[in-house]
Amino acid sequence: MPSTGKQLEFDRQLDLLQIKQFRRTGDMEVLGDLYQKYMHLVYGVCLKYLKNRSDAQDAVISIFEKLTIDAIRQEIGHFKNWLFVVTKNYCLMEIRKRSADEAKFSNWQEDEKQIMELCIEMHPLDESAKLSDALQDCITRLKDEQKDCINLFYFKKKCYREVGKMLHIEEKAVKSSIQNAKRNLKICLERKHE
Amino acid sequence: MSEKVKHNEQLEGIFKYLNDSMSNTERYDFERDLERDPFTYEAFDGLSQLKRSEIESDLLALDVISGKKKKTNKALKWISVAAVFIALISGTFYLYENFDSFNFRTAKNIDKNIPEKINEPLAFKKEVPKIVPVDTTRIMLAGVDSNSATQQPVPSKYGNTVASNTLTSGDKPGMKDSAKKRAIFKTPADVVPMMASKKTEESVAEIVSVAADDQTQAAPAAEADKLLHEEIATKEEAVKRLGANADPEPLGGSALYKTYLDKNVKYPASVEKPQRETVRVRFKISKTGVPTNIQVEKSPGEAFTNEAIRLIQNGPRWSPEIKDGIPVEGEVSVKITFKP
């Protein structure tokens, strides 16, 4: 089921209500219920970064503990996005703890900046069906493979697998092409605004 | 618990996608949602490394842990509520019994001695520190609530006290107009001599004589008490003049409350022939906005009743009924629809 903007807004409001209730009563069950709703996502992200099941499970618990404090201290406008930032930051910190490697350290730091941006705004491509002229122009400037992927996925509504078959590339390559294209589009749009 | 994991639509979608049992359009919708939501996108990257059974058992294990947490928390909460309640009752009792034996001046003079006296191994030592904070908080709450023509939520640091209020304010409706009276009867200064009175006459005489030396120190405390009473009185006056009236309403509004009910209602698993059912419950909204005294008006069975009560109890708090600007106990009736 494709999630509509209305639904998303409703979920957001419902989450905020639960946060408010938790702040008012300090009832862990309320926060637990809320966390439970997104636990599979938190676990998934932890799996991706920590790369093993037991570490990821520990992380899910630690993040919940962190939440019990941070949910009161911090201002939360959008719980799901906020939880994503908290989760990802937690994982990056864990990785940082694991390796004292300086080079990796600086790499991750850069990555962290990216998350914050990623969360605050949706990509213009995903935001609305109508494309701005600037965005359309940026699409024409993309590399061929990226352009094809964007066109087939976003406008012809073909799934990754179909796109892959049509362009004779692997499904994974389609996915990363779309990601790279989106990043390039963002850079291109930012340049235009300057 | 396993039901909970299964009921997660999004997770179900992920399994279906990984299992390759989606049509191309379904696949597309799923992928489009992923692109839109970076959180799910990355989570999918992680989850797709595991098998379905692994994911399910891991999430279940995590659920058990948070479930344990919940239980101990609940137990702790009830113990603290009970302790506060007992302390409150016994405090009121002592106060009632010994009220005449001391005059106010002596009472307030002793005030400064509280900290030292508490440390003595009195039989009811534990009750002393509890009564004092609870009662002052109650006075504070009275101030906050009477202000709630604007219906502000109670500050969270009073979390536990609010819970205990559910018990007390519910069964003492007569107290509602007498925040002032309450304040006079239950200020720390007044409770303490009653504690002391439990000791022998001699030791009381001792306390009083010690206290007499401390008279100068005691004065500011009495002054602060007086100021607090005045502040509450003026606040109540101000709200009264506004003369606002309002019916009880769930915080966040009725529409959101309905969504909360619809989203969280769990159809009882024990029912043999699941069909659409409705339960109607009537309950009181205390002055502090807590649903109490839940009574069932119409229900097809006990399982439904219990679920309805669970929903109301775990649900959002309410804004209390406001009469002439003063929060009073109100009553509401709610219908809950169960869909199989």
Which of the two residues, B104 and A136, has the higher pLDDT score? A136
Quick one: B188 and B81 in the same domain? yes
Residues A82 and A106 in one domain: yes
Same domain, B325 and B195: no
Contact residues for A65 (Cβ-Cβ < 8 A; gap 6+)? none
Q: Which residue of chain A has the CA closest to B43?
A: A44
What are the residues whose beta carbons fall under 8 Å from the beta carbon of A160, sequence distance 6 or more?
A153, A171, A174, A175, B27, B31
CATH no. for residue B300? 3.30.1150
**B58, part of any domain:** no
Do A109 and A14 fall into the same domain?
A: yes
> Are A112 and A142 in a shared domain?
no
* pLDDT tens column, A94-110: 888 776 555 555 555 54
**Domain residues for A189?**
125-193
Range of the domain at B297: 249-338
Q: Which phi and psi angles does B103 have, rounded to 5°?
A: -95, 170
Residue B322: its pLDDT value, please? Answer: 77
Looking at the domain assignment, is residue B211 inside a domain? yes
- Cα–Cα distance between A146 and B302 in angstroms, integer? 60
Checking if the pLDDT of A132 tops 80, the result is yes
Percent of residues, chain A, with pLDDT higher than 90: 27
Instruction: Compute the average pLDDT of residues B312-338.
Output: 83
User: Nearest CA of chain A to the CA of B251: how many Å?
Assistant: 8
B36 and B12 in one domain?
A: yes
| Tens of pLDDT, residues B173-232 | 444 444 444 434 444 444 444 444 444 444 444 444 444 444 444 555 666 666 666 655
- List the single best residue of A14, A38, A39, A111 to mutate versus B (max B Cβ within 10 A): A39
A49 shares a domain with A25: yes
The confidence band for B255, taking pLDDT boundaries of 50, 70 and 90, is confident
Residue A46's pLDDT is what? 94
Are residues B125 and B195 located together in one domain of the fold?
yes
Output b/e per residue, B151-170; b: 16+ Cβ within 10 A.
Answer: bebbeeebbbbbbbbbbbbb
Q: Do A162 and A116 belong to one domain? A: no
A40 at B interface, C-beta within 8 A: yes
Q: Which residues of B touch A61 (CB under 8 A)?
A: 62, 65-66
B256 and B204 part of one domain = no
Q: pLDDT value at position B154?
A: 42
Q: Does the structure show a pLDDT above 60 at B55?
A: yes
Q: Is there a single domain that holds both residue A164 and residue A177?
A: yes
Residue B155 and residue B78 share a domain: yes
Provide DSSP, B15-64: HHHHTT-S-HHHHHHHHHHHHH-HHHHHHHHHHTTS-HHHHHHHHHHHHH
Residues B116-148: pLDDT tens digits? 444 444 444 444 444 444 444 444 443 444 444
Claim to verify: residue B257 and residue B224 sit in the same structural domain:
no
Residues B225 and B257 in one domain: no
- Say whether both B81 and B144 belong to one domain: yes
Return the residue matching tokens 């409001």.
A13
Is there a single domain that holds both residue A12 and residue A80? yes
Contacts of B38 in chain A (CB under 8 A): 84, 118-119
Query: Domain holding A162: CATH number?
Result: 1.10.10.10
Question: Contacts of residue A158 in chain B, CB cutoff 8 Å?
Answer: 24, 28
The answer to whether residue A159 scores a pLDDT higher than 50 is yes
A30: which chain B residues are within 8 Å (Cβ-Cβ)?
314
Query: Domains in chain A: how many in total?
Result: 2
Q: Give the number of A-B residue pairs with CB atoms closer than 8 Å.
A: 151
Question: Please, which pLDDT band fits residue B66 given cuts at 50, 70 and 90?
Answer: low
Last residue of a domain, one of A88, A120, A152: A120
Within-domain flag for B68: no
Check CB contact under 8 Å for B256 and A17. yes
The stretches of chain B forming alpha helices (DSSP H) are 2-7, 9-18, 24-36, 38-47, 52-98, 104-110, 114-118, 127-146, 159-171, 179-185, 188-197, 201-213, 215-242, 254-264, 302-314
Chain B residue with minimal CA distance to A32? B66
The predicted pLDDT at position A148 comes to 92
Test A14 with B317 for CB contact under 8 angstroms. Answer: no
CB contact under 8 A, A64 and B49: no
A99 plus A170 within the same structural domain:
no
Q: What is the CATH number for A65?
A: 1.10.1740.10
Same domain? For B291 and B226 the reply is: no
Q: How many separate domains does chain B show?
A: 3
* Domain co-membership, A20 together with A72: yes
For tokens 């991750």, the residue is A108
pLDDT score at B233: 63
Shared domain for A71 and A133, answered yes or no, is no
Which candidate from B10, B38, B69 shows the least CB-CB separation from A118?
B38
Question: In sequence order, what are the residues at sequence separation of 6 or more whose Cβ sits closer than 8 angstroms to the Cβ of residue A15?
Answer: A34, A78, A79, A80
Higher pLDDT: A75 or A65? It is: A65
Single out the residue in A64, A85, A120 at which a domain terminates.
A120
Q: How far apart are CA A41 and CA A125, in angstroms?
A: 23
Residue B59 in any domain: the answer is no
What pLDDT does residue B75 have? 64
> Over chain B, what is the mean pLDDT?
66
One domain for residues A116 and A46: yes
Residue B253 lies in a domain: yes
Q: Are residues A116 and A163 in the same domain?
A: no
Q: Where residue B286 falls among pLDDT bands split at 50, 70, 90?
A: confident
Choosing from A94, A120, A146, the residue where a domain stops is A120
pLDDT at B3 over 60: no
Residues B80 and B215 in one domain: yes
